[in-house]
Structure 1
Amino acid sequence: MFRPAALASRFAAVAALVLVVGMLPWLSGGDPALSVLRARSAERDPDPEALAAIRDQLGLDAGPLVLLGRWLTGLASGDAGTSWVSGKPVLPGVLAGLGVSLTLMAGAIVVAVLVAGALVAPTLAAASRGRPRSASGAVAAMLTAVPEFLLASVLLIVFAVWLRWAPPFGWEGPENLVLPAIAMGVPAGGLLGRLLDDALPAAAGEQWTTTWTVLGVGRARIAGGVLRRSLPALLPQLALVVVGLVGGAVAVEELFAIPGIGRMALGAAVAQDLPLLQACLLVLLLTGFAASAVSAALHLLLMGRALRGTTLPVAQRAAAGPGRLARVLPVVFASALILLVAVGLFRDPTAVDVSLRLAAPSWERPLGADALGRDMLARVAHGALRTALVALLVTAVALVLGLGLGFLPRLSGGPVEVLNAMPPVLAGLITAAVLGPSTAGAAVAVVLVAWAPLAAHTTALVREERAATHVQASRVAGGDRSWILRAHVLPAVFPPVFRHALLRLPGTALALASLGFLGLGAQPPEPEWGLVLSEAMPYVERAPWAALAPTAALALLGALAVSTSSLGRRIAVGG
């Protein structure tokens, strides 16, 4: 059942997003004609005659609102505009890139299903024997937290450069699909496997499985029943998998030089070819929305006609509190990062010595040197400190926004749903078009999507607390709404949402690093982890240590993200 307020909120959020995309040429505050001139010829002087000719050619003098109307009308008729760089219609190229990206996503989904199946096979086997237990949650969590760009970098270094088992670049045949599909599919499979690994033991512990076992039903049929019982709660999360693939496609396509729509969007953002970027963003967003619609349709189909319009109870199971290892691992990973920062913090990350260009690791430089002879240990250490500070700021802003808007579910419900369908890289493309590639732009991009999960968590807790007996009693006793909010609701809601925000801190740092890797965040010579890894990739065959240093640091950060999220999840479930 859809409430009018919820529908209005969703429509307003989608309309606002389309409006932002449509107004990109003017949101930057600069002259669109100047952007066109620079996109076509960076060396040409912006003389008034050249700018006037561009304005006349593109009709820019009509103003942003008129051109926005023309853009929307053109979309309705299949015209997405003309590229500022090539002067050609953008839609044919975007559709061709979409075909490549969809092929890559299909391959990634196959990999994801295989990975998820391998992860939950032991759990499903145990469930069919009447022994419901989780068997692979830790492994699934580890795979989920590996960023696509980091896994793609490792696969490229090991299997394409060192072992030469697959081509490193291009899109010429099925062999070019293997490594990119694995890079995108493994984290998605980890997410699916983790969700199923949680749901299967709960479903297997329900009464009907005992009845089937007593009646002599075969294990294969029981396993199939347990799987089918678990899928309705899982299918709504399918959209998250596709959203992850959409975001991962940008980095993976850029790294493997695949001519997909993700790489096309990134190139358009860097070149300020805003009509092309607009079309790419709309197609990528529509892909996420379409995935949500498909997952909802599959959910209804699996529920069956008799249960449509009702809610199937979610299987629940008791969870043990966090074990000693779960409590120790975050401390170990955090201590390793602190040690790394402490060792390299007093070294100069910007000192250039061309005589040490791509120098191998030594006692003087334990992690070697980059292409300019700069100390990799210093750059990784200072990059950790810089990334941590920016991530803390982003987390604080997202927490404030999440708490504030979470108390206004009618206003924030639509934006939360829309932003949950937008990976940080798409927000990064938008902010790069408006603010330019920078650390501030990357921080804004991550904030735009980071507050939504916190707002959803806040809304759920507020509803739960308002339904509590002591709050109801205070209301009956004549307590003022503002007093109840200050005395009961806010003190109960703030601590868990604050812990939720802290547990997302390592993931936020990884999101910032991914934008830096794509050139949408920090710019040279800043020692930011993603940027340091991006600068090292062209020399990976000659000096692999230059890429392995930031890769190892990012892997350590990913392990910290896994351990903290797993610990927080166990605490939340166990009460």
Structure 2
Amino acid sequence: MPRLLRRFLRNPGAVLGLALLLVLLLVAALGPALVGDPLEQNIGERLRPPGPAHPLGTDQLGRDVLARVVHGARISLGVGFGVVLLASALGVAVGLLAGGLGGFWDNLLMRLTDVFFAFPSLILAMAIAAALGPNLTNTVLAVALVTWPIYARLVRAQVLALREREFVEAARALGAGQGRILLKHLLPNSLTPVLVQASYEVGSAILTAAGLSFIGFGAQPPTPEWGAMVAETRNYMAEAPWAATAPAVAILLTVLAFNLLGDGLRDALDPRGR
């Protein structure tokens, strides 16, 4: 582990991504207690530029943009982590069964993943979110349902490469059943690429959820979710650009942090680079 940590820390981009992520996590954990109510309206203060009273200005309803961005950090990060947990759990289970069992089950499960890959992910997420109803919980479900095939394909490929290895053959020779081989030998050795992919997918999930909120299929006003904030204030870009710019920059920095972190994990965990 120290060697992996040293490899990770030698990557400046990875260190920057980790630092950004730590800041975002601190903002999400502690920030809401330090700023005002994100839903409090004051029409007399509407569209105020950044100043001492409102460091990031106010929006069209006089709400403090800083308070809304800070509260939105908790919401957006929660959506991103929730999507990855659901999608990876489902995808890993499907990929493990497909690669480990093979034959009929492999064909059936992989054709199912092909059905999901046949549709553009955002369009499919829009359809699912519209069918379930526009809210944050359904947004998490919709994005998870369109991203699990990525993990399924990834884990299946790992299992197919590992199931004929010597340690698996030795387990079979010692009388281990199929379930034990899958859970004790194949699953733990297939999780490294899943960890790397998950670090990328958190940022992607946050971006997709923000896109759904922007077009009305995700979080609904007045929820201080970053995509919904951009949608609410986009008509005021000419006179109050700060209202839409602040949540957009928050999305940018969050996705950048997870992408840099993913690059660092990939380089640190890649055995070919050791």
TM-score normalized by the length of structure 2? 0.85
Q: Which runs of 5+ in 2 are unaligned?
A: 1-6, 99-105
RMSD: 2.0
Could you tell which deviates more after superposition, 369-378 or 330-339?
330-339
Of 161, 168, 171, 1:464 maps to 161
Shift of 1:350: 0.2
Partner of 2:248: 551
1:345 Cα shift? 4.5
Alignment partner, residue 403 of structure 1: 92
8 Å CA contact 1:510–1:557 kept in 2: the answer is no
Q: Which amino acid aligns with 1:377?
A: L
Deviations 1:510-563 (A, max 9, x none): 111111111110001100000001111100001011111111111111211320
* Whole-angstrom distance in 2 between the partners of 1:478 and 1:429: 48
* Pairwise CA distance, 1:508: 1.3
* Inter-partner Cα distance in structure 2 for 1:474 and 1:564: 35
Change (3 A) 1:521 1:384: same
Shift of 1:477: 4.1
Q: 2:182 is matched with which residue?
A: 485
Following the alignment from structure 1 to structure 2, what is the Cα–Cα distance between the partners of residues 423 and 365? 40
User: Any unmatched runs of 5+ in structure 1?
Assistant: 1-320
Match of 1:331 among 15, 18, 21: 18
Q: What CA deviation, in whole Å up to 9, does each residue of 1:251-291 have, x standing for no partner?
A: xxxxxxxxxxxxxxxxxxxxxxxxxxxxxxxxxxxxxxxxx
Say whether 1:366 aligns with 2:63. Answer: no
Contact kept? 1:345, 1:381, Cα under 8 Å: no
Residues 1:437 and 2:134 are matched in the alignment = yes
Quote the residue 1:74 is aligned against: none
Residue 289 of structure 1 is matched in structure 2 by none
Match of 1:384 in 2: 73
Runs of 4 or more above 6 Å deviation? none
Deviations 1:228-251 (A, max 9, x none): xxxxxxxxxxxxxxxxxxxxxxxx
In 2, are the aligned partners of 1:343 and 1:381 still within 8 Å (CA)?
Answer: yes
Give the whole-Å Cα distance in 1 for the aligned partners of 2:260 and 2:129.
32
* Equivalent-residue separation in structure 2 for 1:473 and 1:395 (angstroms): 34
One-letter amino acid of the structure 2 residue matched with residue 481 of structure 1: Q
Between the aligned partners of 2:97 and 2:23, the Cα distance in structure 1 is 41
Q: 1:424 to 1:356 in 2, by over 3 A?
A: farther
The alpha-carbon deviation at position 344 of structure 1 amounts to 5.0
Distance 1:512 1:475, change over 3 A: same
Listed one character per residue, the Cα deviations across residues 141-176 of structure 1 (whole Å, up to 9, x for unaligned) are xxxxxxxxxxxxxxxxxxxxxxxxxxxxxxxxxxxx
How many matched pairs? 255
Match of 2:223 among 526, 529, 539: 526
C-alpha contact (below 8 Å) 2:196/2:262 kept by paired residues: no
Q: Please state how far the C-alpha of 1:433 moved relative to its aligned partner.
A: 3.1
Instruction: Give the number of the structure with larger relative contact order, counting CA–CA contacts within 8 Å between residues 6 or more apart.
Output: 2
Q: What is aligned with 1:312?
A: none
Which amino acid in 1 is paired with 2:218?
Answer: G
Equivalent residues of 1:352, 1:373 under 8 A apart: yes
Residue 343 of structure 1 and its aligned partner are, at CA, apart by 4.1
State the percentage of identical aligned residues.
35
Match in the other structure for 1:423? 120
CA distance in 1, matches of 2:183, 2:84: 23
Distance 1:423 1:547 in 2: 27
Q: How does 1:64-463 map to 2 (within 5 A)?
A: 322=8, 323-338=10-25, 340-341=27-28, 342-346=30-34, 347-409=36-98, 410=106, 411-463=108-160
The structure-2 alpha-carbon separation of the partners of 1:433 and 1:363, relative to structure 1 and needing over 3 Å to count, comes to: same
Shift of 1:434: 1.4
TM-score (norm 1): 0.42
Counterpart in the other structure of 1:272: none
CA contact (8 A) 1:438 1:522 kept: yes
